[in-house]
Each structure stands twice: as structure tokens, then as C-alpha cells.
Amino acid sequence: MPRLLLSLLFVIPCVAQTRTVALTFDDLPPEDETINKRILDALVKHRAWAIAFVNETKVAAPSGEEMLRDWVIRGLDLGNHTYSHRDLNQMTVDEFKDEVIRGEKTVAQLAGKPKYFRFPFNHSGDTKEKHDAVASFLAERGYRVATCTIDNEDYRYSHAYDAMRSRKDEAAAARLRVEYLAYTATEIDYYAQLHVRVFGREIPHVMLLHSNRLNAELIDQLLQIFEDKQYRFVTLDAAQSDAVYKTPDTYVTKFGPMWGYRWAAELGIKVNGSLESEPSAWILNYADQK
């Protein structure tokens, strides 16, 4: 099927749905082709556009470039997630610039000059000087920062899930899968209400996910959760064209909070982050158990 026709499948309007979300996947390419194929097949099935954020060092893995090419063939997009996923908090501005420039190579070859950049760990500058210098550099290089407004802490679940698979603990793995889907549903609702608190209305969302085995196995159910909540899948361009994404970015932190918290701080609106739920302790501690 031609790429243009595939692309059109992802933007068919749906009058009944007014909520929208753009899907983003970090740390591409994944460790094997099965993960990549499952995610891509589910995206096509649900007519869901998505963008994959690439770590250049991972492209050298077997079939790495081919997996990224599959995203482009299916009408999806690629973004820059730096060369080696180093933490900006631990780098100078010049080191960061090198990470960004070296991270462009394969994305540019397969999909053209990348338009979106995603900060590793969502760390966008732990001092005002670094934050402002990095923001200026990215703008001069033609980048828009890929925000994220919903986080389901999938990396924590994935860490525990991989340990369960390694130990062949299927009972725990089954329990985790159920809790992970329920937690994702809870987080979607939490962040929808957080933005009502900040802006007085729901906004187009940007969902942060990772290309791991857990998400590959549950991607169909994850997308169904959004559909059941009357969300329509849109491009990152469409989501970030909303006026809220023009809120000034001057928030300095060594942490990586979702943008709703950043915007609240920017606008002087008090929000209670303790109301956000966390993954269960048994999941957080599982991988450390003997």
C-alpha cells in the first residue's frame, strides 16, 4: 500500500470523538523485530499515528535500521532522542549539542531532517543557563521539543516484567499485566483532570511510551483504553498546535515532570501532585528480590 494512503488512514476525522492524543515511543529501535512488529501492527489496526524517538547508538544492533525503515514505510515518523541517551544533567551544553547532532544521522537518512526532539529522561536543563542555552540551540537547529502530558511509568513496569520473564514467574507476570493496564487507565484520567485544573479545559494529549516487550504484548489493549475513553489518535503536529503548547518554557528543574506540572508552575497555578497514584510497591521492588 502506498505510503500516502497509509498516512491518510491515520487522519480520518471522527465526529463522535472530541478528545485527542498523539502517541510517542522512546528508545527506538527496540531489542528485536518482534517488539517492533507488534507495535506497528497495532498502530495500523487502530489507525493510530505515532512517532518513534531514536537513539542512534541502538541503530547498529541487528536489523536496527530495518526496524526504523518499517516505521517510515507505514507512514509514521521518526524523531531525535540523542545519540546515546545521556542525561543532560550530567553534561555540558557543548556535549549536549554533540549528542543532538550525532543523533540525527539515521533519522535524516530514512525520514529527512528530524523536526522533533525528545529529551532523555525529560531532563531539559537543571540550571537556567543550561536550560536557556539548550533551548536556543534546539530552536536554531529547527527543532520543536516533543512534550509529553501523560506518563504511565511503563519503564518501571517493564523492568519488573523482564525480571518476571527471566525467572519464569508467570503468576506475577499475569498480575502485573492486569495492574499495568488499570494503572494506565487511571493515569489517563488523572492527567485529563490535571489539565482541566491548569487550563480550564481538556487539551490534546501527548502519550509517552517506550518500545519494550511489555508494551509490545499489551499495545492493542493500551490503544483500546484510549478508544474506550473516546480519544482519537492524531499527529504530534496536530496535538502541539493547540494554544496551550505555546505556554512559555522557562521552567528549570533537574527532574523530568510531565508538562502539566511544568505549565502549572509557569502559570502560578497550584496543583497537588500527591494525588497522582504510583505503581504498587511489589512491582517497584520485584526486580530487587532474591
Band (pLDDT 50/70/90 cuts) for residue 9 is very low
For residue 158, give Cα distances in angstroms to 123, 147, 212, 245: 21, 22, 7, 30
Q: Taking the CA of residue 159 as centre, how many other CA atoms within 13 Å lie in the half-sphere pointing to its CB?
A: 12
Residues 238-266, mean pLDDT to the nearest whole number: 96
Summarised one tens digit per residue, pLDDT across range 176-208 is: 999 999 999 999 999 999 999 999 999 999 999
Grid coordinates standing for 28? 527506538
User: Is residue 146 over pLDDT 60?
Assistant: yes
User: What span, in angstroms and rounded, lies between the C-alpha atoms of 207 and 203?
Assistant: 12
Compute and round to an integer the Cα radius of gyration of the chain. 19
Give the mean pLDDT of 84-110: 98
pLDDT at 287: 81
Contacts of 163 (CB under 8 A, 6+ apart): 286, 287
Q: Look at residue 18 in the predicted model and tell me its pLDDT.
A: 85
Q: Mean pLDDT of all residues in the chain?
A: 94
Amino acid sitting at position 246: K
Contact 86, 123 (CB under 8 A): no
Instruction: State yes or no: pLDDT of 5 exceeds 60.
Output: no
Write down the pLDDT at residue 128. Answer: 97
Q: What is the mean pLDDT of residues 142-151?
A: 98
DSSP 121-157: GG---SSHHHHHHHHHHHHHTT-EE----EE--HHHH
- Of 190, 183, 158, nearest to 261 by C-alpha is 190
SS3 29: coil
The helix or strand, by DSSP H or E, that contains position 81, with its residue range, turns out to be: none
Q: What is the structure's pLDDT at 17?
A: 52
Confidence of residue 290 (pLDDT cuts 50, 70, 90): low
